[in-house]
Amino acid sequence: MMKTIDKSGATRRGFLKGSAGGLAALGAGVNLFNINHAWSADAVYDGGVFDAGGATLNVAEWGGFWEEIVRKEMLDAFEKDFNCKIVYESSFPWFPKFVAGGPEKPPFAIANWNYGEMFKTAAAGDFFTPVDEVVENVPNAKNIWPFATATGVGITWSYTRYCYAYRTDLVDPPIKSFKDFWDEKYAGKRGTYVTSNGLQMDFFIAACALFGKDQYDLDAGYEAMKAAMPMKISDFTGNMQTLLERGEVAVAVQHDAEVYQMMDRGIKVAPYIWDEVKPILTQTKTVSKYLEPVQKKLAYALLNLTLDTKLQSVMCDKFYQRPVNKNVVVTPNLSSKGVSNTEDSTAGYWTPDWKSYNENEADIVETVNGIFAG
């Protein structure tokens, strides 16, 4: 693999792009991917601050309050230190934007995902820099738990646990198992999400695994969804919060950060964190494969800061996100809920087989939609 100084990258890229285009026009049948791969793999990053010469970095991440905090705590300083401009996109979903342009025209240099959509995008083309290559260029990746890089697609930088949220004043006795959700008394008072929401995907796969033979037992999952009807279907967690607050649902599929936030606002809710299987809702970042070297280097630098103890603590404090950096001490808002950041506490996490899910997604979406529609 060629490695050159990134300064020359831009012109080299232009040249190669031009010649690649020329070759294609001549119908020489050259594999363009290979040619582009040579220029895109140039970037090396060692953890230091560098001058990006005013380059732009396309970032995809959640909007609203999340964006405000990320900008304030990391991006504003990043732009100054690295002399670059961050272009921040928050209008989800990213998947159609990636596939519309193809791997060589990635809309974002660095994107933040939940697993389902990320794996779907990864399956649709050669979009992302392999994790091993990313880890080599991101010094802070040496300090993170092994599960954070296990996907091979992206690097998980924070996460929460899947759970049920239930109203402590409306649910008695407290929920103690995954299957309690199906209790007769919650008919019409239980909530989950549309098939496109990652929480519903995990809920469905967990139901397949726990009601059937294994996570591939889709029929058991369908039966479980049927048995849970009637229930209220929400599109996003924000809406589910309101449903819980207003008592429209008594128990809902949720992730624990959301529940802790509600608890600290004085709403009478508690989590039952799934224990039978332990899927996690991750914040995972990918670095796109075909980028100008300077952009790739910036993406590495930004990812490095994301994995740094400083930002990890901030996200822990503001959003109840659990850290992946081994050196982060969990902030009081989470430690008071019994959350810790140790080797033991991160053991046993379960990642569903997303490849299989995505292959069957068309059928799952059709069938579950049919069930939800009643």
Using CB under 8 A as the criterion, which residues of the chain lie in contact with other proteins when the complex forms?
58-59, 62-68, 86-93, 95-97, 99-101, 105, 107, 120-121, 123-125, 188, 194-196, 232-233, 235-239, 241-242, 245-248, 265, 358, 361-362, 365-366, 369-370, 372-374
Report the Cα–Cα distance between both ends of the chain, in Å, rounded: 56
Residue with tokens 């008072």: 189
Which of 59/153 has CB closer to other proteins?
Answer: 59
Which of 47/63 has CB closer to other proteins?
Answer: 63
Least spacing, CB of residue 329 vs other proteins, in Å: 26
Question: What is the SS3 string spanning 233-295?
Answer: EECCHHHHHHHHHCCCCCEEEEEHHHHHHHHHCCCCEEEEECCCCCCEEEEEEEEECCCCHHH
Token duo for residue 52? 């990006």
Report the SS3 class of residue 155. Answer: strand
Least spacing, CB of residue 1 vs other proteins, in Å: 27
Which of 144/205 has CB closer to other proteins?
Answer: 205
Which of 9/106 has CB closer to other proteins?
Answer: 106
Q: What region, left, alpha or beta, does residue 126 occupy, with left being phi > 0 and alpha being psi -120 to 50 degrees?
A: beta
Least spacing, CB of residue 55 vs other proteins, in Å: 15
Q: How many CA atoms lie within 13 A of 19 on its CB side?
A: 10
- Please tell me the distance from the alpha carbon of residue 267 to that of residue 54, in angstroms, as a whole number: 47
Least spacing, CB of residue 345 vs other proteins, in Å: 25
Check if the beta carbon of residue 277 is closer than 8 Å to that of residue 209: yes
Which of 98/145 has CB closer to other proteins?
Answer: 98
Q: What are phi and psi of 162, to 5 degrees?
A: -70, 145
Least spacing, CB of residue 117 vs other proteins, in Å: 8
Which of 144/269 has CB closer to other proteins?
Answer: 269
Least spacing, CB of residue 115 vs other proteins, in Å: 14
- Please tell me the distance from the alpha carbon of residue 49 to that of residue 57, in angstroms, as a whole number: 15
